[in-house]
Structure 1
Amino acid sequence: MGAHPADSLLYRHLWSTEEIHRYFDDKGRIKVWLQILSALASAQSEVGIIPHEAAVAIAAHADVELFDLEEVACATRATGHSTFGLIRSLRCVLPEEAAEWVYYGATVQDLTDTWTALTARYVLDIVDRDLGHLLDTIAGLAIAHRDTVMCGRTHGQPGLPITFGFKAAVWASELSRHRERLRDIRPRIEVVQLGGALGTMEFWMPESERLLSAFAARLGLGVPDIPWITARDGVAEFLGFLGMMSSTLAKIGQEVYELQRPEIGELAETWTPGQVGSITMPHKRNPELSEHLVTLAKVIRSNAGLGLEAMVHEHERDGRSWKTEWLAVPEACLLACTALVLCCRLADGLQVNADRMKDNVDACAGYLMSEPVMRVLSAKIGKHSAHTLIYEATMNGRANGLSMRDALLANREVLTHLSVSEIDASLDLDVAVGAAGMFVDRVLKTLDTPRSKNGGAR
Structure 2
Amino acid sequence: MAHIIDSEFYCNGWGTPEMRAVFDDRRRYQRWLDIEVVLAEVQAELGVIPAEAAREIKAKAKIEELDIDMIKDGLAKTGHSLVPLLKAVQVRCADNLGEHIHYGPTTQDIEDTGGVLEMKEASKILFRDLLRMEKALNELAAKYKDFPMTGRTHNQHGLPITLGLKFANWSAELRRDLERIKSMPPRVFLGMLHGGTGTMAGLGEQAYPIAEKVMERLGIGLPPSGWGSARDIVAEYQVVLGMVAGTVGRIANEIFQLARTEIQEFKEPLGEHYVGSSTMPHKRNPEVTEFCVAMCRVVMNNAPLALQSMIAEHERDTRSWRLDWHSIPESSIMLHKAITALLTIVEGLEIDEQRITDNLNMLEGMLFSEALMFHLGKKVGKQTAHHLIRDAILGATQSGKCFRELLLADETIAANISEAELDSIMDYSKHVGQSARQVAHVKETAERLGATDQDFLSC
* TM-score, normalised via structure 2 length: 0.95
Question: Which string of whole-angstrom CA distances, capped at 9 and with x for unpartnered residues, describes residues 317-359 of structure 1?
Answer: 1111121111111111111111111111111111111111011
Taking the aligned partners of 2:46 and 2:371, their CA distance within structure 1 comes to: 74
Alignment partner of 1:192 is 2:191: yes
Tell me if structure 1 keeps the 8 A contact 2:144–2:162.
Answer: yes
Alignment partner of 1:428 is 2:430: no
Tell me if structure 2 keeps the 8 A contact 1:147–1:163.
Answer: yes
Corresponding residue of 2:145:
146
Question: Which string of whole-angstrom CA distances, capped at 9 and with x for unpartnered residues, describes residues 377-422 of structure 1?
Answer: 2322333332222222211221111333123112223223323233
Residue range with higher mean Cα deviation, 375-384 or 436-445: 375-384
Deviation, 1:46, is 2.4
Tell me if structure 2 keeps the 8 A contact 1:196–1:203.
Answer: yes
Find runs of 4+ consecutive structure 1 residues off by over 6 angstroms: none
Tell me if structure 2 keeps the 8 A contact 1:169–1:443.
Answer: yes
Deviation, 1:56, is 1.3
| Paired residue type of 1:192 | G
Tell me if structure 2 keeps the 8 A contact 1:242–1:300.
Answer: yes
Corresponding residue of 1:360:
359
Taking the aligned partners of 2:111 and 2:387, their CA distance within structure 1 comes to: 65
Deviation, 1:273, is 4.1
| Paired residue type of 1:354 | E
Residue range with higher mean Cα deviation, 303-312 or 17-26: 17-26
Corresponding residue of 2:454:
none
Residues 404 and 445 from structure 1, CA distance in 2 versus in 1: closer, same or farther, beyond 3 angstroms? farther
* TM-score, normalised via structure 1 length: 0.95
Q: How does 1:368-383 map to 2 (within 5 A)?
A: 368-383=367-382
Deviation, 1:247, is 1.2
Corresponding residue of 1:266:
265
Taking the aligned partners of 1:336 and 1:69, their CA distance within structure 2 comes to: 31
Taking the aligned partners of 1:415 and 1:379, their CA distance within structure 2 comes to: 14
Taking the aligned partners of 2:438 and 2:337, their CA distance within structure 1 comes to: 31
Corresponding residue of 2:131:
132
Percent identity for Structure 1 against Structure 2: 37
Aligned pair count reads: 449
Taking the aligned partners of 1:438 and 1:380, their CA distance within structure 2 comes to: 30
Taking the aligned partners of 1:58 and 1:403, their CA distance within structure 2 comes to: 85
Taking the aligned partners of 1:402 and 1:98, their CA distance within structure 2 comes to: 93
Corresponding residue of 1:115:
114
Taking the aligned partners of 1:210 and 1:277, their CA distance within structure 2 comes to: 61
Tell me if structure 2 keeps the 8 A contact 1:367–1:403.
Answer: no
* Gap regions ≥5 residues in structure 1: 450-458
| Paired residue type of 1:271 | L
Question: Which string of whole-angstrom CA distances, capped at 9 and with x for unpartnered residues, describes residues 183-238 of structure 1?
Answer: 11122111111110111101122111111101101101111111111111111111
Residues 430 and 199 from structure 1, CA distance in 2 versus in 1: closer, same or farther, beyond 3 angstroms? same
SS in 1 for 2:247: helix
Residue range with higher mean Cα deviation, 94-103 or 237-246: 94-103
Corresponding residue of 1:411:
410
Taking the aligned partners of 1:70 and 1:268, their CA distance within structure 2 comes to: 51
| Paired residue type of 2:410 | N
Deviation, 1:48, is 2.4
Q: Give RMSD over aligned pairs.
A: 1.6
Taking the aligned partners of 1:68 and 1:338, their CA distance within structure 2 comes to: 33
| Paired residue type of 2:338 | A
Corresponding residue of 1:252:
251
Residues 193 and 374 from structure 1, CA distance in 2 versus in 1: closer, same or farther, beyond 3 angstroms? same
Taking the aligned partners of 2:39 and 2:388, their CA distance within structure 1 comes to: 77
Q: How does 1:61-140 map to 2 (within 5 A)?
A: 61-140=60-139
Alignment partner of 1:338 is 2:341: no
Corresponding residue of 2:168:
169
Question: Which string of whole-angstrom CA distances, capped at 9 and with x for unpartnered residues, describes residues 417-450 of structure 1?
Answer: 323233222211111222211211111222239x
SS in 2 for 1:448: helix
Question: Which string of whole-angstrom CA distances, capped at 9 and with x for unpartnered residues, describes residues 15-55 of structure 1?
Answer: 11111112212112112111111111112222222111111
| Paired residue type of 1:237 | E
Corresponding residue of 1:394:
393
Corresponding residue of 1:43:
42
| Paired residue type of 2:143 | A
Tell me if structure 2 keeps the 8 A contact 1:276–1:284.
Answer: no
Corresponding residue of 1:321:
320
Corresponding residue of 1:286:
285
* Gap regions ≥5 residues in structure 2: 449-459
